[in-house]
Structure 1
Amino acid sequence: MATAGVFLFLMLIGVPIGLCLLLVSMTYILDSRNMLLFDSLPVQLFGGVDNYGLIAIPLFVLIGEVMNGGGITRRIIDMTMAFIGALRGGLAYVNLFANMFVASILGSATAQVAIMAQMMVPEMEKKGYDKTFAAGLTAYAGMLGPIIPPSIMFVVYSVLAQVPVADMLMAGLVPGILLTVLFCIVIAIMGFVYSYPKGESMTMRARAKIVLGALPTLLVPIIIVGSILAGIANPTEAAAVGVVAAFLVGRYWIGELSYSQLPMMLLRAGIYSAVVLFLVAAAAVFSWVLVYGMVPQKVAAWVQTVASDPITFMLLVNVILLVIGTVIDGAPGLIMTVPILLPIATEVYGIDPVHFGVVVVINLVLGFLSPPVGLSFFVASAVTGAKPGKMFIVTLPFFLVACLLLVLLSIFPELSTFFAG
């Protein structure tokens, strides 16, 4: 009880989640009166980040920095506009598909929303779209970042669950494509109901010029995803090559990237990566304490009184994680829930850990777009000035189809494991 009280108090006063997990773990050790556990605490802390796969995190973050600074994002948007911009609601489709391409490089929802909102929302406003809808759509399109590979959240989950990073990254392909298709259906219906404007048509020559100019930018996602799928490189190696490819394209093809930008890019990537890795280290200690206190076993005993089969369990997990995701960010949410729920999923219900990881990550990402926190909405609001509450109401159909995808993934695990393993 003392441990739970300390945890709630620290969360309420806003202590950073990594530090909160460490302090709660130490409180539990003090409460258990087993001081010998303090001798193992540094070992567990170091062991949490002593994993080769985690090197991929700073590399993926650096790819996003180089891509944005090198003008690659702008070229991807222009290329998408050339293909589908003339449709009714064309800019909404462009927003979505450009996000899908960018997601295959960035892997971070909040970073993606910040970048794409700056570029797409003013453009959509000029063409007659409601700013609140444009900002909300950008926030939902940012969901693709942590789902389509590469994904920092999948890397963190793979370390927590001790599953291959490559399997987790590839498991996001089908759900990411399905989510894009469902969002397209919503845009088509809303475009018909609200008479969204059509984009300007282009001549074949103008379209070909834009596409040919942007084609080299696609080398980055092709190298990353293609090399992992083909078994040529593991995710860390693919990320390293992706950094080099993004730099070469931005510096020598587009010409917008200069060497003077690199120090700040490396600094920003290092700061963000340090925050994530500290969370992972704190998670290792927290998981160790949970196992010592037999928390997973106690939770499993309760869950089995409610859920009698794997599908019921997964649907229950969806509800629990959606609630957790509304108040806790994605990576901390993973760190707090996976050590408790994963052993129940795999040992009691026989659920594939890769399948379970996809459902958990999508749930927590959807929490980015749910009140009362809705982090992605607040990021979009900070960039565009749109109201977060109105964004949620205007884009509610996107929330509903995302929930539909979660139900489908819970019932049909093959949708998650098709490319994995």
Structure 2
Amino acid sequence: MTVVVFALLLLAAVPIALVLALTAAWYIADSGNTVLFESYPQQLFGAIESYGLLAIPLFMLAGELMNEGGVTRRLIDLARLLVGGFRGGLAYINLVANMMMAAIIGSAASQIAIMSRAMVPAMEREGYDKPYSAAITAAGGLLSPIIPPSMLFVLFGVIAQVPIAEMFIAGILPGLLLGFSFFLAIAVVGLLQQYPKGNWPTGDEARQALLMGLPALSIPLIIIGGILLGVATPTESAALASLAALLLGRLLYGELSLGQLPRVLTRTAVNAGLVIMLIAAAGVFGWVVTYERLPQMAAAAISALTTDPFLFLLLVIGSLLLVGMIIDGIAALILVVPILLPIATQQFDISPYQFGVVVCLTLVLGLLTPPVGAGLFIASSMTGASPLRIFRALIPFLLATLATLVLLAWQPWLTTGLIGR
């Protein structure tokens, strides 16, 4: 009956946080073990009682300040300097700028919204098809879950009890690999569609782009460098990135006024509050799942199917592709990790870092696939292109992502090599 309640609430479009919290409450009431209600508030609070979760609102704040303060536009100009002269130059610029933004924002949905406003109109003016322009921007959002910092990595680190900094490092090589596969997809599509050849900036334009872009590039360097060098935790790096974005937008670029700060802070608080509510509700739901010994039952069922770690990860990828199509990535992550992680590490001896990267990237694919496909609708609302046409243009990038996932599942060193585990 609990499963029926969960499905009905989900199909009724009830917010996912309420779905999880109400389903857990229904289970307790239906089981007759009402003494569990006394632990309900404790489980809600316990799910969010983690220092690492402070990084989420701080990374969100850094992204908002960058967009308001003109930092995003300077990063795009810097990307133009690097790849703007190739055929389909603006497509490459879009992707490189997305890679830079992924190293700051950490949220795929936020990145798609920000970059759609910044890049799609410019690509249209130079003769690119609107759905294709929106598709590249949406595909760039797939880099957010694995290029550090990553909101999903923060959550996975908290749930799996592994160092968040090491999760970030584990995502560097997979992020570069995924970016390279997207470059290949753009090159192939550009040749087939004969998109216009870009123009390299002139000497003066290049100097101006470097002069204004290098300070903007300091923000991802602060985040990644601080973590890699061990001088700052992910949370401290997020705070430093927010401070750098504020100073650059206010003092250097002069586009961020003090009057904009209340709006920026309010938007950050609302968005972060939604995520934290979801984490709290999913914590209660996960408690019920553990109480019912679902991880043990799932372990027995999967062990009967295969004993090969690679095949197990392929099964996980296939299952989570379906889950991600229906349930929000953050909620799905909190639901599946307590069930699947013990199986991966204990039954198949899979590194939690490899498992985390594969799971996070697989789940975020659901952001761009029907029937829910929130990322498709974000890109559509920002650009006016049809979600179905965007999805068709996305197919080469989705195939590239699937190929990358299979490679990550096959070769553990791609995720564990930089952390030495």
TM-score, normalised on structure 2?
A: 0.97
Cα distance per residue 1:263-299 (max 9 Å; x no partner) = 1111111111111111111122111111111111111
Note the 1:111-260 alignment, pairs <5 A.
111-260=110-259
CA distance in 2, matches of 1:292, 1:206: 62
Residue 19, structure 1, aligned to residue 18, structure 2: yes
User: Structure 1, residues 86-136: CA drift from partner, whole Å, max 9, x if none?
Assistant: 110100000000010011111111111111111111111111111111111
SS of 1:323 mapped into structure 2: helix
For residue 326 of structure 1, give the secondary structure of its aligned residue in structure 2: helix
Q: Write the letter of the residue equivalent to 1:237.
A: E
Measured after TM superposition, the shift of residue 232 of structure 1 is: 0.3
Q: CA deviation at 1:307?
A: 2.1
Q: Tell whether the 8 Å contact from 1:83 to 1:207 is kept in structure 2 after alignment.
A: no
- State the alpha-carbon separation in 1 of the partners of residues 64 and 394 from structure 2: 29
What do the CA deviations read for 1:339-396 (whole angstroms, capped 9, x no partner)?
2111211121121112111101000111111122221111110011111111221231
- Tell me which residue corresponds to 1:397: 396
Alignment-mate amino acid for residue 95 of structure 1? N
Q: Is the 8 A contact 1:77 1:94 kept in 2?
A: yes
Which 5+ residue runs of structure 1 have no aligned equivalent?
A: none
Partner SS for 2:187: helix
CA distance in 2 between counterparts of 1:394 and 1:20 reads 33
Equivalent residue of 1:37, what SS? helix
Q: Please give the secondary structure, in 2, of the residue aligned with 1:372.
A: coil
Report how far residue 418 of structure 1 moved. 2.6
Superposed, 1:77-96 pairs within 5 Å as: 77-96=76-95
3-state SS of 1:38 partner = helix
User: In the alignment, is the contact (CA less than 8 A) between 1:133 and 1:394 conserved in 2?
Assistant: yes
- Aligned equivalents of 2:373 and 2:416: distance in 1? 29
Alignment map for 1:282-321 (pairs within 5 Å) = 282-321=281-320
Q: 1:49-60 to 2 correspondence within 5 Å?
A: 49-60=48-59
- Is 1:307–1:316's contact at 8 Å kept on the other side of the alignment? no
- 1:285 is paired with a residue whose SS is helix
Taking the aligned partners of 2:103 and 2:175, their CA distance within structure 1 comes to 10
Offset at residue 337 of structure 1 (A): 1.4
Where in structure 2 are there 5+ consecutive unaligned residues?
none
| Counterpart secondary structure, 2:39 | helix
TM-score, normalising length from structure 1? 0.97
State the AA in 2 paired with 1:226. G
3-state SS of paired residue (1:36): helix
Aligned counterpart, 2:261:
262
Structure 2 Cα separation of the partners of residues 239 and 387 of structure 1 = 35
Q: Is the 8 A contact 1:107 1:151 kept in 2?
A: yes
1:190 Cα deviation from its structure 2 partner: 1.3
Cα distance in 2 for residues equivalent to 1:251 and 1:60: 18
User: Which residue identity does 2:382 align to in structure 1?
Assistant: V
Q: Give runs of ≥4 in structure 1 deviating > 4 Å.
A: none
Q: Distance in 2 between matches of 1:112 and 1:131?
A: 18
Q: What do residues 17-65 of structure 1 show as CA deviations (whole Å, max 9, x unaligned)? A: 1111111111221222212211111111111111111111110110011
Question: Aligned-pair distance for 1:329?
Answer: 1.7
Counterpart residue type for residue 126 of structure 1: R
Question: Using the alignment, how far apart are the partners of 2:397 and 2:51 within structure 1?
Answer: 37
Matched positions, count: 420
1:208 Cα deviation from its structure 2 partner: 1.8
Deviations 1:195-252 (A, max 9, x none): 1101223223321221112111111111111000000011011111111111111111
